[in-house]
Structure 1
């Protein structure tokens, strides 16, 4: 299918891009509703983020019992995770299990990258072309490309000259990498960098961590799951399915369970923070006191609590100074879970290179040169340098809407969507994991992506029932959502912190909160209201 000599033009109801959580479910739902669907995936197999991100130590930080599909109780019960936070190989196997059980592969062309999608106004359809020479005409285009799937790989001058091995964590090879005795450097200490560092520190000869921004980090509590434990979760399938749809971040835990900060005594507050710290999940961040996102005094106290825990682990005052954040508050940036990450810096073979004090100037054939003139000689260089989050996966495709307008150009001026589901000017284009929805960052991804897929599918069914073929959000509706999104974001402390949440990791990118932060439950309610009301504000014909 992927040989250009057999490329052909086909016509379908819908094209789906991506074979991760959203893509697989979207194909399932469309097929279930009788739509003819063709799906494309750049990778050679299903898995999405769990296909591409196979770097050492990769694992998710949503608990296994809720990082699940909810459309089939039998599917849920038939898969038995080995631990609370499974590692990448198990997550990849799980998605293969889903694809096999639901017979989804036959709808995909793998190792095929969508290069362009142009809307034909006269035909009221999308023309999609691939790097394999395929052309597909589709009434609807649904992008399930992932919110973190456009890696920032070309970061430093001279990368191509490096004589050693250079890897980006989001494009890690399937073959094992031998670190034994090697001089290894890693750039980036976000959630991914932390997982790599804690995993390879004991394997390498010497590890240089090029550190710019330290992170608040919580020790992961990752017990094994026995069959009995999973049977307990399975018995609560329907309860959890309903619960995650209405919480703030799509997990079973939520804010409100401990009352407000103001009504608690100082001793009670600490007891709550201790309890959630010991839980070893994201609950301290997403289910303790929501005031930490709005009130600087509350955030300062929670931040100091976490700093104290990190000091206990690090002990060394020099390491504390380098590795404990002081210039931004806890929870205003992505909070990683770790397994002996801080302790890795106690090893004699692990060294911090402070690139805030002396930035990286370039990569040379021998290693990395910093602004102080020092050459850090390396055998392996790892880039955990993040992504063009939310927007990059779509702007790297030549998407053109009405009048030939370019999504890349439009988002280059201003990042706008209608609830992260559609974009004004691009009829019949649907998006998941796109900006201005919780699924862009602030959600247990399986919860939010399934919700978006369900809304999209039901929208297409409603359109078909009315005998209509085109739907596009009005400018007024999009303006209304963007204004609400910004008002909600600007009321929080998150907008004051530079992070990929705000797009500040990409030069020239608009500074706007990428994810809707009003909560999963509130977002879902608004989506449901639009559907129940017959999609007011959407232009249908």
Structure 2
């Protein structure tokens, strides 16, 4: 293992190389998990992140500070399963808001002494594998260059925000921000004329917080969000303490790795049409009252496979949701009947809400369906619609989403053994092995990214499942003095086909969503997430390891040039 070196300049004034065993990109759940356990192995490691604080995948919880930003996984699912961490930490509510999640990462940092090996406010601009010493050369925007044996990408699935190319955006003279770049100091919104473009997760959270305080709020919606009730409530510290003492937390953390989505609930193990209409309704009511993602990932096991079963779930959702909206026009825009359905239920990620639909009953809140009346152009004072209507705003909030799953990885200039960049390799389609490696990029691992359970799972569950596997693989290389571990082209072709096959038997391909890469113009339309569930994914990855990391080449003979 190479010792850590100090940063010095050579005679030409260029920063000298620093040697590490591992450089990790992203100071969120994944990156910090890797740092903690790789350091315990005795490896010299550093984490680099563009944000100013620790938190979330690639510091999502640093950037996501917009009104209402909060997690959509129940406590205690959205935290590490490390006992030394969970035993002394209590959450204040079932779905914590962003300030509390930041405090959690500060707590984790203090307990595990992480910050000393974390470089914040810094971006990785370039990385290239040097085939002669079999090490990665990684360049930071500070000019520093690290050479490292292992290069670990923990950027998360939402590290690159997306802004559509709306005409005339630079003309707007008011305040305008994407939710992923919301000012840390906030924006004064009370009494203002506000526009929110987009009704994905960040849009929904913003809208329900902004509506009560805005002078007037206009929502521009492309596709209805099939939101589910969060059923938020405060938590009792004494009850949390009791659950930890009785071992309930241990059981929850064990069980979350045994469920499809890594939650503490799972699909109902019957097909929908095996039960009567009365039995179906009883199950739906129970899941609806339970809140969270239960009505998405706890319904009949064929709901995401059978259109008939899916229609039953959609009709229940529409009935419940439409009853909360007073205006008939808004009702049809926000919660259309089955005959006017925009997409099947659950094939776009549903958002959790607390009072989202009630906000539209306020006289100061309007919604415009962009498919019927698109944006024509931005103006100095606001937005002009295709029908000629000119809307004036003080503030425009862009809740227009992300170049999800692959975007955070390919925005870094990473070159493999053949000199081809990762962006070029994946430009016409994504290729991975196990959703953690890709051929010709040896000793490079990524988690919570493409072709893993990622967007179909609870983040920390996926991070720990993949993180444990990567840590074991690194340890295998170190103990066996292996220079390189690289996926073969054959193994990644097999895995990519496997991921596509799992998705093709579901209803997901029939919906244009970021799950399929369909929200970004020019991006390949493909299965970006593993649809087999956490238990199957874990089993398949572990079988590869048990077979001596089948599908990987070790110490592959490279064309070494002097």
TM-score using structure 1 length: 0.97
Secondary structure of the structure 1 residue equivalent to 2:324: helix
Other-structure match for 2:257: 245
Query: 2: CA distance between counterparts of 1:434 and 1:3?
Result: 35
In 2, Cα distance between the equivalents of 1:2 and 1:497? 50
Aligned counterpart for 2:187 among listed residues 177, 180, 184: 177
SS at match of 1:156: coil
Matches within 5 A, 1:250-289: 250-256=262-268, 259-289=270-300
Residue 139 of structure 1 aligns to a residue whose secondary structure is: strand
The alignment's C-alpha RMSD in Å is 1.7
Residues 464-512 of structure 1: CA deviation (Å, up to 9, x unaligned): 1212120011111111111111110000001100111111110001111
Partner of 1:89: 99
Deviations 1:366-403 (A, max 9, x none): 11122223221111010000000011111111011012
Q: Which residue of 2 aligns with 1:386?
A: 401
Q: Deviations over 1:54-97 (max 9, x none)?
A: 11000111001111101x21210111000110111101110111
Do the aligned residues in 1 keep the contact of 2:137 with 2:147 (CA within 8 Å)?
yes
Matches within 5 A, 1:122-521: 122-153=132-163, 155-234=165-244, 235-256=247-268, 259-325=270-336, 326-439=341-454, 441-521=455-535
| Cα distance in 2, alignment partners of residues 475 and 154 from structure 1 | 35
Alignment match, 1:67: 78
The alpha carbon displacement at 1:154 in A equals: 5.5
Quote the Cα distance in structure 1 between the aligned partners of 2:429 and 2:226.
31
Give how far 1:139 is off: 0.9
Give distance in 2, aligned partners of 1:56 and 1:229: 29
Of residues 20, 39, 42, the one that matches 2:28 is: 20
Indicate if the aligned counterparts of 1:2 and 1:112 stay in contact, CA closer than 8 A. Answer: no
Counterpart in the other structure of 1:108? 118
Residue 184 of structure 2: SS of its match in structure 1?
coil
- Looking at structure 2, the residues matched to 201 and 463 of structure 1 have their Cα atoms a distance apart, in angstroms, of 54
> Deviation at 1:8?
4.5
Contact 2:343–2:511 at 8 Å: present in 1 too?
yes
- Distance in 2, matches of 1:104 and 1:509, equals 36
The secondary structure found in structure 2 opposite 1:115 is strand
Deviations 1:440-477 (A, max 9, x none): x1100000011111111100101112121200111111
The size of the alignment, in residue pairs, is 538
Conserved 8 A contact 2:128-2:138: yes
The gaps in structure 1 that reach 5 residues or longer are none
- After TM superposition, give the deviation of residue 3 of structure 1 in Å: 13
Report the alpha carbon displacement of residue 237 of structure 1 after superposing the two structures with TM. Answer: 2.3
Equivalent residue for 2:47? 39
Conserved? CA contact 2:64–2:182, under 8 Å: yes
Give the TM-score normalised by structure 2.
Answer: 0.93
In the alignment, is the contact (CA less than 8 A) between 1:427 and 1:471 conserved in 2?
Answer: yes
CA 1:436 to 1:170, structure 2 compared with 1: closer, same or farther past 3 Å?
A: same
Structure 1 contact 197–341 (Cα < 8 Å) conserved: yes
Q: Is the 8 A contact 1:503 1:512 kept in 2?
A: yes
For residue 219 of structure 2, give the secondary structure of its aligned residue in structure 1: strand
**Contact persistence 2:8–2:16 (CA under 8 A):** no
Q: Tell me, in whole angstroms, the C-alpha distance in 2 between the residues paired with 1:446 and 1:346.
A: 36
SS at match of 2:323: helix
Contact 2:154 2:446 in 1 (8 A): yes
